[in-house]
Amino acid sequence: MLQYPAIDPIALSLGPLDIHWYGVMYAIGFGLAWWLGRLRARRADTPVSPAQMDDVLLFGAIGVVVGGRVGYALFYSGGDLLADPLSLLRVWEGGMAFHGGLLGVIVMMAWYARRQRIGALALGDFVAPLIPPGLAAGRLGNFINGELWGAPTQWPWGMVYPPLGTEPRHPSQLYELALEGLALFALVWGFSRHPRPTGAITGVFLTGYGLARFAVEFVRLPDAHIGYLMGGWLTMGQLLSLPMVAAGLALLAWAYRHRLSPASN
Protein backbone atom coordinates (compact mmCIF):
# COMPACT_ATOMS: atom_id res chain seq x y z
CA MET A 1 0.00 0.00 0.00
CA LEU A 2 1.14 3.53 -0.79
CA GLN A 3 0.44 6.77 1.07
CA TYR A 4 -0.74 9.82 -0.81
CA PRO A 5 1.96 12.50 -0.58
CA ALA A 6 0.78 15.68 1.06
CA ILE A 7 0.91 18.14 -1.84
CA ASP A 8 -0.21 21.72 -1.47
CA PRO A 9 -2.55 22.42 -4.43
CA ILE A 10 -1.24 26.01 -4.43
CA ALA A 11 2.03 26.17 -6.33
CA LEU A 12 2.82 29.82 -5.58
CA SER A 13 1.29 32.70 -3.65
CA LEU A 14 1.93 36.24 -4.82
CA GLY A 15 0.25 38.44 -2.25
CA PRO A 16 -3.50 37.89 -2.58
CA LEU A 17 -3.01 35.85 -5.77
CA ASP A 18 -2.76 32.06 -5.44
CA ILE A 19 -1.42 30.15 -8.44
CA HIS A 20 -2.74 26.58 -8.31
CA TRP A 21 -0.93 23.55 -9.65
CA TYR A 22 -4.01 22.70 -11.70
CA GLY A 23 -3.71 25.99 -13.56
CA VAL A 24 0.03 25.43 -14.00
CA MET A 25 -0.75 22.04 -15.57
CA TYR A 26 -3.12 23.67 -18.07
CA ALA A 27 -0.36 26.13 -18.98
CA ILE A 28 2.11 23.26 -19.40
CA GLY A 29 -0.38 21.38 -21.58
CA PHE A 30 -0.93 24.36 -23.86
CA GLY A 31 2.80 25.04 -23.99
CA LEU A 32 3.57 21.46 -25.02
CA ALA A 33 0.86 21.58 -27.69
CA TRP A 34 2.36 24.79 -29.11
CA TRP A 35 5.90 23.36 -29.13
CA LEU A 36 4.89 20.04 -30.68
CA GLY A 37 2.72 21.88 -33.20
CA ARG A 38 5.67 24.00 -34.28
CA LEU A 39 7.65 20.79 -34.84
CA ARG A 40 4.86 19.16 -36.87
CA ALA A 41 4.25 22.32 -38.88
CA ARG A 42 7.72 22.03 -40.42
CA ARG A 43 6.59 18.99 -42.38
CA ALA A 44 5.53 19.42 -45.99
CA ASP A 45 2.33 17.37 -45.53
CA THR A 46 0.70 19.53 -42.85
CA PRO A 47 -1.93 22.22 -43.46
CA VAL A 48 -0.48 24.57 -40.82
CA SER A 49 2.71 26.62 -40.94
CA PRO A 50 4.83 27.29 -37.82
CA ALA A 51 3.67 30.92 -37.87
CA GLN A 52 0.02 29.80 -37.67
CA MET A 53 0.51 27.81 -34.46
CA ASP A 54 -0.17 30.86 -32.30
CA ASP A 55 -3.64 31.18 -33.82
CA VAL A 56 -4.26 27.42 -33.68
CA LEU A 57 -3.34 27.40 -29.99
CA LEU A 58 -5.56 30.41 -29.24
CA PHE A 59 -8.57 28.87 -30.97
CA GLY A 60 -7.89 25.53 -29.32
CA ALA A 61 -7.56 27.05 -25.85
CA ILE A 62 -10.89 28.86 -26.25
CA GLY A 63 -12.48 25.57 -27.29
CA VAL A 64 -11.02 23.71 -24.31
CA VAL A 65 -12.11 26.24 -21.68
CA VAL A 66 -15.54 27.16 -23.04
CA GLY A 67 -16.36 23.63 -24.18
CA GLY A 68 -15.08 22.13 -20.94
CA ARG A 69 -17.24 24.42 -18.83
CA VAL A 70 -20.36 23.98 -20.97
CA GLY A 71 -19.79 20.23 -21.15
CA TYR A 72 -19.50 19.95 -17.38
CA ALA A 73 -22.69 21.96 -16.92
CA LEU A 74 -24.60 19.81 -19.43
CA PHE A 75 -23.21 16.37 -18.61
CA TYR A 76 -22.40 16.48 -14.91
CA SER A 77 -24.31 19.21 -13.11
CA GLY A 78 -27.87 18.31 -14.00
CA GLY A 79 -30.17 21.27 -14.40
CA ASP A 80 -27.84 23.77 -12.76
CA LEU A 81 -27.11 25.49 -16.07
CA LEU A 82 -30.76 26.31 -16.71
CA ALA A 83 -31.31 27.41 -13.14
CA ASP A 84 -28.13 29.48 -13.00
CA PRO A 85 -26.60 30.29 -16.43
CA LEU A 86 -24.00 32.57 -14.83
CA SER A 87 -22.43 29.49 -13.19
CA LEU A 88 -20.51 29.05 -16.47
CA LEU A 89 -18.51 32.17 -15.65
CA ARG A 90 -17.55 31.06 -12.13
CA VAL A 91 -14.52 29.06 -13.25
CA TRP A 92 -12.96 29.35 -9.79
CA GLU A 93 -15.62 26.94 -8.52
CA GLY A 94 -14.15 24.19 -10.72
CA GLY A 95 -15.83 21.82 -13.11
CA MET A 96 -14.36 20.91 -16.49
CA ALA A 97 -15.38 18.00 -18.73
CA PHE A 98 -12.98 16.52 -21.26
CA HIS A 99 -15.74 15.49 -23.68
CA GLY A 100 -17.13 19.03 -23.64
CA GLY A 101 -13.65 20.45 -24.15
CA LEU A 102 -13.13 18.11 -27.10
CA LEU A 103 -16.38 19.26 -28.71
CA GLY A 104 -15.30 22.85 -28.11
CA VAL A 105 -11.97 22.22 -29.84
CA ILE A 106 -13.72 20.52 -32.78
CA VAL A 107 -16.01 23.53 -33.24
CA MET A 108 -13.17 26.04 -33.01
CA MET A 109 -10.89 24.04 -35.33
CA ALA A 110 -13.70 23.73 -37.90
CA TRP A 111 -14.19 27.49 -37.73
CA TYR A 112 -10.47 28.13 -38.08
CA ALA A 113 -10.22 25.69 -41.00
CA ARG A 114 -13.03 27.48 -42.78
CA ARG A 115 -11.40 30.87 -42.22
CA GLN A 116 -8.08 29.60 -43.56
CA ARG A 117 -9.71 27.58 -46.36
CA ILE A 118 -8.06 24.33 -45.34
CA GLY A 119 -9.63 20.92 -44.85
CA ALA A 120 -11.21 20.44 -41.42
CA LEU A 121 -10.19 16.78 -41.24
CA ALA A 122 -6.64 17.63 -42.32
CA LEU A 123 -6.48 20.17 -39.50
CA GLY A 124 -7.91 17.59 -37.10
CA ASP A 125 -5.12 15.19 -38.09
CA PHE A 126 -2.60 17.94 -37.39
CA VAL A 127 -4.03 18.79 -33.97
CA ALA A 128 -4.80 15.27 -32.66
CA PRO A 129 -1.19 14.30 -31.75
CA LEU A 130 -0.79 17.55 -29.80
CA ILE A 131 -3.57 16.77 -27.30
CA PRO A 132 -2.38 13.78 -25.18
CA PRO A 133 0.50 15.59 -23.41
CA GLY A 134 -2.02 18.14 -22.16
CA LEU A 135 -4.25 15.32 -20.95
CA ALA A 136 -1.32 13.86 -19.03
CA ALA A 137 -0.61 17.23 -17.42
CA GLY A 138 -4.29 17.66 -16.52
CA ARG A 139 -4.46 14.23 -14.86
CA LEU A 140 -1.38 15.10 -12.82
CA GLY A 141 -3.25 18.22 -11.75
CA ASN A 142 -6.19 16.02 -10.68
CA PHE A 143 -3.80 13.89 -8.61
CA ILE A 144 -2.28 16.93 -6.91
CA ASN A 145 -5.78 18.25 -6.17
CA GLY A 146 -6.75 14.91 -4.61
CA GLU A 147 -9.78 14.40 -6.86
CA LEU A 148 -11.23 11.75 -9.20
CA TRP A 149 -10.09 8.86 -7.02
CA GLY A 150 -10.69 5.22 -7.84
CA ALA A 151 -12.55 2.55 -5.90
CA PRO A 152 -10.99 0.70 -2.93
CA THR A 153 -8.45 -1.94 -3.93
CA GLN A 154 -6.03 -4.43 -2.40
CA TRP A 155 -3.62 -4.16 -5.31
CA PRO A 156 -0.07 -3.42 -4.07
CA TRP A 157 -0.05 0.06 -5.60
CA GLY A 158 -3.32 1.03 -3.93
CA MET A 159 -2.97 4.45 -2.34
CA VAL A 160 -4.42 5.74 0.92
CA TYR A 161 -5.91 9.19 0.59
CA PRO A 162 -6.68 10.29 4.19
CA PRO A 163 -9.72 12.51 3.42
CA LEU A 164 -11.48 9.41 2.02
CA GLY A 165 -10.55 7.10 4.89
CA THR A 166 -7.93 4.42 5.49
CA GLU A 167 -8.78 2.08 2.61
CA PRO A 168 -6.23 2.03 -0.22
CA ARG A 169 -7.71 3.16 -3.52
CA HIS A 170 -6.90 2.92 -7.19
CA PRO A 171 -4.90 6.06 -8.13
CA SER A 172 -7.12 6.36 -11.20
CA GLN A 173 -5.74 9.79 -12.07
CA LEU A 174 -2.33 8.18 -12.61
CA TYR A 175 -3.87 5.38 -14.67
CA GLU A 176 -5.42 8.04 -16.91
CA LEU A 177 -2.16 9.96 -17.03
CA ALA A 178 -0.43 6.80 -18.27
CA LEU A 179 -3.13 5.69 -20.75
CA GLU A 180 -4.81 8.88 -22.01
CA GLY A 181 -1.60 10.85 -21.81
CA LEU A 182 1.63 8.93 -22.31
CA ALA A 183 0.44 5.78 -24.11
CA LEU A 184 -2.00 7.67 -26.34
CA PHE A 185 0.68 10.21 -27.22
CA ALA A 186 3.10 7.44 -28.19
CA LEU A 187 0.39 5.78 -30.30
CA VAL A 188 -0.90 8.87 -32.12
CA TRP A 189 2.43 10.64 -32.51
CA GLY A 190 4.08 7.45 -33.78
CA PHE A 191 1.19 6.78 -36.16
CA SER A 192 1.38 10.33 -37.50
CA ARG A 193 5.11 10.23 -38.23
CA HIS A 194 4.35 8.97 -41.74
CA PRO A 195 1.74 10.33 -44.18
CA ARG A 196 -1.69 8.80 -43.56
CA PRO A 197 -5.04 9.10 -45.35
CA THR A 198 -6.92 12.20 -44.26
CA GLY A 199 -8.97 11.47 -41.14
CA ALA A 200 -6.98 8.41 -40.06
CA ILE A 201 -4.94 10.17 -37.37
CA THR A 202 -8.05 11.75 -35.90
CA GLY A 203 -9.71 8.33 -35.98
CA VAL A 204 -6.84 6.74 -34.06
CA PHE A 205 -6.98 9.50 -31.44
CA LEU A 206 -10.73 9.24 -30.91
CA THR A 207 -10.67 5.45 -30.71
CA GLY A 208 -7.62 5.34 -28.44
CA TYR A 209 -8.90 7.92 -25.99
CA GLY A 210 -12.38 6.42 -25.88
CA LEU A 211 -11.06 2.92 -25.12
CA ALA A 212 -8.58 4.18 -22.51
CA ARG A 213 -11.20 6.27 -20.71
CA PHE A 214 -13.80 3.48 -20.88
CA ALA A 215 -11.34 1.03 -19.30
CA VAL A 216 -10.21 3.27 -16.44
CA GLU A 217 -13.81 4.14 -15.55
CA PHE A 218 -14.25 0.55 -14.30
CA VAL A 219 -12.00 1.39 -11.32
CA ARG A 220 -12.68 5.13 -11.04
CA LEU A 221 -15.45 6.25 -8.72
CA PRO A 222 -18.31 8.01 -10.51
CA ASP A 223 -19.32 11.51 -9.50
CA ALA A 224 -21.15 11.19 -6.20
CA HIS A 225 -24.15 13.24 -7.33
CA ILE A 226 -24.58 11.09 -10.47
CA GLY A 227 -23.45 7.60 -9.50
CA TYR A 228 -23.69 4.66 -11.85
CA LEU A 229 -26.13 5.03 -14.71
CA MET A 230 -26.99 1.37 -15.27
CA GLY A 231 -26.25 -2.04 -13.81
CA GLY A 232 -23.92 -0.76 -11.11
CA TRP A 233 -21.05 -0.16 -13.54
CA LEU A 234 -21.88 2.20 -16.41
CA THR A 235 -20.61 5.72 -15.70
CA MET A 236 -21.19 9.03 -17.44
CA GLY A 237 -17.56 8.95 -18.62
CA GLN A 238 -18.12 5.57 -20.26
CA LEU A 239 -21.38 6.68 -21.85
CA LEU A 240 -19.70 9.73 -23.35
CA SER A 241 -16.70 7.68 -24.53
CA LEU A 242 -18.73 5.16 -26.53
CA PRO A 243 -19.60 7.66 -29.30
CA MET A 244 -15.91 8.58 -29.49
CA VAL A 245 -14.94 4.97 -30.15
CA ALA A 246 -17.71 4.57 -32.73
CA ALA A 247 -16.78 7.83 -34.47
CA GLY A 248 -13.08 6.96 -34.43
CA LEU A 249 -13.60 3.52 -35.96
CA ALA A 250 -15.99 4.92 -38.57
CA LEU A 251 -13.50 7.65 -39.46
CA LEU A 252 -10.68 5.12 -39.81
CA ALA A 253 -12.80 2.95 -42.11
CA TRP A 254 -13.77 6.00 -44.18
CA ALA A 255 -10.18 7.29 -44.34
CA TYR A 256 -8.73 4.04 -45.65
CA ARG A 257 -11.58 3.54 -48.05
CA HIS A 258 -11.20 6.96 -49.67
CA ARG A 259 -7.46 7.51 -49.00
CA LEU A 260 -7.48 11.28 -49.46
CA SER A 261 -4.26 13.20 -48.93
CA PRO A 262 -4.26 16.48 -46.93
CA ALA A 263 -3.59 18.40 -50.13
CA SER A 264 -6.81 17.10 -51.69
CA ASN A 265 -9.07 18.53 -48.96
Total structural domains within the chain: 1
pLDDT in the model for residue 225? 79
Residue 221 has pLDDT above 80, yes or no: yes
Residue 81 has pLDDT above 80, yes or no: no
The reply to whether 91 falls in a domain is: no
Determine whether 3 is exposed, middle or buried from the number of CB atoms within 10 Å of its CB (0-12, 13-18, 19+). exposed
> Rounded to whole angstroms, how far apart are CA atoms 197 and 201?
8
Full-model pTM: 0.92
Q: Facing residues of 160 across strands?
A: 3, 168
84 band by pLDDT with thresholds 50, 70 and 90 = confident
Q: Which domain holds residue 151?
A: 119-264
> Rounded to whole angstroms, how far apart are CA atoms 9 and 163?
15
Residues 188-194 have a mean pLDDT of 96
How does pLDDT run across 172-183, given as a tens digit for each residue? Answer: 999 999 999 999
Q: Give me the DSSP letters along 45-75.
A: T-S--GGGHHHHHHHHHHHHHHHHHHHHHHH
Residue 139 assigned to a binding site: yes
The reply to whether 173 falls in a domain is: yes
The reply to whether 190 falls in a domain is: yes
Please indicate whether residue 22 or residue 112 has the higher confidence score (pLDDT): 112
> Rounded to whole angstroms, how far apart are CA atoms 68 and 64?
6
Residue 265 has pLDDT above 70, yes or no: no
90 band by pLDDT with thresholds 50, 70 and 90 = low
Residues 217-222 have a mean pLDDT of 93
The reply to whether 25 falls in a domain is: no
The reply to whether 17 falls in a domain is: no
Helices (H) and strands (E) in the chain, counts: 10, 5
How does pLDDT run across 26-68, given as a tens digit for each residue? Answer: 999 999 999 999 999 999 889 999 999 999 999 999 999 999 9
Residue 89 has pLDDT above 80, yes or no: no
How does pLDDT run across 109-143, given as a tens digit for each residue? Answer: 999 999 999 999 999 999 999 999 999 999 999 99
pLDDT in the model for residue 224? 79
Residue 92 has pLDDT above 60, yes or no: no
The reply to whether 151 falls in a domain is: yes
208 band by pLDDT with thresholds 50, 70 and 90 = very high
The reply to whether 237 falls in a domain is: yes
The reply to whether 58 falls in a domain is: no
pLDDT in the model for residue 69? 86
